[in-house]
Amino acid sequence: MTPAPAELQLLDLEPAASDFLAEAIAGLSSDPRTLPSKFFYDERGSELFQEICALPEYYVTRTETEILQQNIAAMAQSIGTGAELVGFGTGAGIKTRMLLECLEEPVAYVPVDISKQRLVQSAEELAIAMPHLEILPVCADYMQSMRLPTPARQPAHVAVYFPGSTIGNLEPATARGFLQRVCRLCAPSGGLLIGVDLQKPREILEAAYNDSAGVTAAFNLNLLVRANRELGADFALEQWQHRAIYNEIESRIEMHLISERAQTIHLGGHAFEFAAGEKIITEFSYKHTVAGFTALAESAGFQLSRTWTDPQQWFAVFHFTVPE
């Protein structure tokens, strides 16, 4: 008889609306103007991102999943027995479930995500599928320092899983600082399994972020919808256009919202003047090389264990360990 899953205890550290307001005002006051990409993921934004993952142009999810399907047993073996798995930004949890089902005697799973609705739903589904596994969901911005819940059983080590190439949203110095924090979390004998998008031709990258169905455009514009709803801003959506370009010098996709005419936006007691054609940067997505990302992780204290890629070398999954 299959036991019923234990009731989930959510640790709720979700950023307050005041954080969103403060970061939005700071971003719109900067040069170039920005809005924080971490606030994409309200309920509607999370739904749109799931649609993006299934688009024919968006190779990222499909390619990473294929790598996992072909190598998941080796990845689980590389992680080892008795791990506490901490998942950062694992979203719907499909790839995480693949990994957990192959791990030998995992002690607990701690998913950390900023999207509460998506986090709770995926954790509940996993609890039904794996009732013997302790699941400790945390709603939080994983870029901030936090104290994670402690599992009931002592793990042999901590393994962090960071799929989806979300590390690419961080500028190199910020990525290194984040990896240093992860390295401390994994010490003394744990490791990091991480998905990383690799450099490839401009036409492939720009098509992936400017899909023909307009889903990515809706996802990007939803950030303005959320600012209007939660912060009292007055963005007129029809006066903004989505555009993603590949900056070859910086090796990154840049997602923009372009003002189609001169206009004034009001937010939190501030007035922001926009000229026609002026942009708001909503996201960077850095594209790495295998050697370059390995060097970045090693500079943060990790040691390369294994690397898995697809035949076209479009995506890579790395396993790093913490040296004794």
pLDDT for the residue 10: 87
**40 near 219, Cβ under 8 Å?**
yes
211 neighbors 57 (Cβ within 8 angstroms)? yes
pLDDT of 1: 41
Crossing angle of helices 59-79 and 94-102, in 10° steps, is 20
Over residues 204-230, mean pLDDT: 98
Q: Give CA–CA dist 70/308, Å, rounded.
A: 9
| N- to C-terminal Cα separation, the chain | 42
User: Concatenated DSSP letters for 36-82?
Assistant: -GGGG-SHHHHHHHHHHHTSSS-HHHHHHHHHHHHHHHHHHHHH-SS
**pLDDT tens, position by position, 11-36:** 888 777 779 999 999 999 999 999 99
In the beta sheet, which residues pair with residue 252?
247, 286
The amino acid that residue 20 corresponds to is F
Six-digit token pair at 27? Answer: 């971003």
Task: Choose among 107, 51, 37: nearest CA to 285.
Answer: 37
| Beta carbons of 142 and 88 less than 8 angstroms apart | yes
Closest CA to 137 of 159, 122, 155: 122
The strand pair at 157-162 and 83-88 is best described as: parallel
Rounded-to-integer distance, Cα 58 and Cα 61, Å: 7
The pLDDT tens digits for 184-205 are 999 889 999 999 999 999 999 9
Coil, strand or helix at 306: strand
Q: pLDDT value at position 4?
A: 46
Amino acid at 101: E
Contacts of range 15-24, beta carbons closer than 8 Å, 24 or more positions apart? 15/114, 15/140, 15/141, 17/230, 17/231, 20/226, 20/227, 20/230, 20/231, 21/231, 21/267, 21/268, 24/227, 24/231, 24/233, 24/267, 24/268
Domains and CATH numbers, the chain: 56-142+152-200+287-321 (3.40.50.150)
Q: Cis peptide before 32, with omega less than 30 degrees from 0?
A: yes
Give the rounded percent of residues in the chain with a pLDDT score beyond 90: 84
pLDDT tens, 88-129? 988 768 899 999 999 999 999 999 998 888 898 899 999 999
Strands (E), the chain: 11-12, 33-34, 83-88, 108-113, 134-135, 138-139, 157-162, 191-197, 240-247, 252-259, 263-267, 270-274, 279-286, 303-309, 315-321
Mean pLDDT of 216-245: 98
Is residue 144 classed as helix, strand or coil in its secondary structure?
coil
Q: Which SS3 state, helix, strand or coil, does residue 258 take? A: strand
Vertex 305, ends 299 and 311: CA angle to 5°?
A: 105
